[in-house]
Chains A and B, each alone.
Chain A
Amino acid sequence: MHNYELAVGDILKSFDRSQLFLMLGWQDVKQRYKRSMVGPFWLTISMGVLIATIGLVFGNIFSSPIADFLPFLTLGLILWGFIFTSLTEGCNAFITSASLIKQLSVPLPIHVFRVIWRNIVILTHNLVILPFVYICFLKPISVIALLSLVGFVLLLINLSWMALLLGVLSTRFRDVPQLVQSLFQVVFYLTPIIWMPHLLPARAVSILLTWNPFFHMLEIVRAPLLGYVPAIDSWLISTGMAVAGWLFSLAIYGYSRNKIAYWL
């Protein structure tokens, strides 16, 4: 119980010092693209090219109507990129901040929130592609789209506990980042991102969709922007994961918080 208190205390203290992680995360993005003329929009460009290519190839393979497929693909790839880099960089949240952690006493979750924030900044750069795609295909956007904001908050809550947990585990067990990296490459193909769920035979739906937490996390943000309300299951599973995940993550973090500086 004492560990829980300390862990929750650290989270609250981190939010107290939100200026610090906002600044550091912003700094990371600026640093990567300093003196580059196009700057972080290089990400947007490469994402745009990726979407166009995959759209062309897979749109034809699956013979999906391009006006449906491309918005679906765009949202899927952008959000997946966000989830993937948040979690793989989350693995290294403490490891890459080792010199800071060993010199300055700062609430440790700050290093995780820095990673999440940095990826939110990059996500917003990628979102620039979205209006182009919508205008291109004259896709109407409905009020339902606002639901995706709720979905996004829920996604952030889920990603945060995952990144915190992975950060702690990776600091102690240095194989975790590699493991996560290869695991996620598989999850990418298992999750409907470059293929549309309605192409699945009914039998496969239960395995690939119902039991895939990343499908639900993606769905609650993507579906409203495509004009339909996500299934209630997706909301329930995402919420359940957020609660259970945080409880678990805080327990592990609370147990390890004093050890992290020693493991670095």
Chain B
Amino acid sequence: MNAPLLALLVLVFPAAGAALLAGRGWRLPRIFTVIVGPGVVWLSFLATIALFFDKTNADFTYWTWIKSGSFDVPFGLLIDNLSIFMCFVITGVGGLIVTYSVGYMEHEDDPSYARFFCYMDVFVFSMLLLVLADNFIFLIVGWAMVGLSSYLLIGFWYQRHSAVVAARKAFVMNVVGDVGMILGTFVLFVSFHSVTYDRVFRSLQSCRADLGLLCPVPAADTGSLEVAAFLLLVGAIAKSAQIPLHTWLPDAMEGPTPVSALIHAATMVTAGVYLVGRMHPIYDIAVYAHAAVAIIGAVTALFAATIAIVQTDIKRVLAYSTMSQIGYMFLAVGIGAYAAGFFHLLAHAFFKALLFMAAGNVIHAMHDEQDMRKYGGLWKDMRPTAITFLVGSLSLVGVIPFVGFFSKEQVLGLAFSKPDDNMVHVLWAVGFATALITGFYTGRMWWLTFWGKPAPNRAVEHPHAPRLVMMIPVAILAILSTVGGVVQTRAIGVGPAAVDGFLNSAVGRVPWEGGGAEIAVTFVTMLLAAGLFVWALYSRPWSAYAPWAQRLVEHKYYFDEAYDWAFVRPLDRVAAFGLRGIEQPVIDAAVIDTGLVARAGAASLSLTQSGYFRNYVLVFVGGALVAAVIVLVRANS
């Protein structure tokens, strides 16, 4: 098996699965969907493993899609350690989630069942295309298709009005990001006359102003590079649900829980992090955009964590938690610690998918009730789920020895210890506060669901234990969350740094060392966060303090209302004008009136068909006369 073929197979398997399910799946028995749906994702996983052991590191071009002057777009796949890393996350965690959803979606009828797995396979394909593409155009193709899959899956239960509205909202905001991506690509093409990573980055290498090398883009023109970096960042912000393009993520919880797990926790929302990491040569030079990445990440992390405190829907808590953790990833890649950011991406994929799927078990058992105030005391009835949820929660809070500790604390530690950068130290403080709040809301969530006495209006008296196919992926992820930390223990100062090493060839090393202060701060953070977790388990209701703050946070800082006033309503008016002022009188009228004119013409012409024989003969004779006159005139002239 040679590497180019393997790389192509990674993409082809989910695409083939989607095509099969779209074409035949809804007509064949369910077992077909059960095998094909998750099966192709696992096949992709195996292909990724093969590529890993092959130690491939190359850029394969398969064919040229567009060639127009210097605009040359090949269909090519870039296989380096970063791509393989992302493929592992997508196919591995994705495979577990798709397998889990075999059980979760069992109540759907056969055509919808096949449709779900078809959309999931489309999504996996798109996400793999996004991370494997070796040029900006196919990156954007994958980017847009991922947005499409998200729309299709959020609105999967399309009979529900709220789901349709949420899907539309997600799609529109993603399109805003897509526009940023495309414009950024335009700027880069104008500067470098190429859209492949290879050529663009090589042109940039000689541009390091600090090294004083010759540069096709003069140093004064880093302006255009900054513009491109900011535009690409817009795309990353939209896809990763960071401020200000974050409002779609909580609404996206309308989709089925496996969708939330796969797309809105483990993979799609991490595409923004991948983007910054992949474009690190650009961001290393465009320092303002780079700083913006870190600032946006940190602010979003804190902001989302505060909102998570007051949420009552278990999936919304997890959604805001996702937003917050991705903020950490943005902070990491924003300060230059790319490998740390990706390690947190991996860890987050583990424990967030775990949390979503365990929550899915609870929701499934409680007959689709998602309000945590109607839970309570499930520790007794759903012990395995409660334990796995606890593992995920502790990982999220960042308690040793779970993987979340090693990843999150590494990020915070690096921010703390970055030399000569006061802004980053401020961001560290923001991240520190966020970690504490994370402990609090996670504890609240676990307490409301599993601890204490059952709520008086609990939806189901005796919830059933989940099926095996739903429990095993959860268990696997719980194990991974527990032991996953061993691959990179830099947070405690000793031990292996496998992720750093693996990604070094792709994104480079962190240029500074932590030292003892970093480790100390790490442990302090962990202890305080864990303490708040425990306090939340036993504290009393807290809404009595500062009701105005409560209201502000409950309304998500009024972002939705602001956007509605600033964008939605004016556009509605424009659209209404377009309908009544332009579409109906001009375009519709042109089309309909053409028909009316034709009909009137025909009606008037049909008057000649009087049905009277003698009229027709009269016309004959008249015509013959005209012809005779013409002949006469011609003959005489």
Is A bound to B? Answer: no
Q: A: which residues have CB within 8 A of B?
A: none
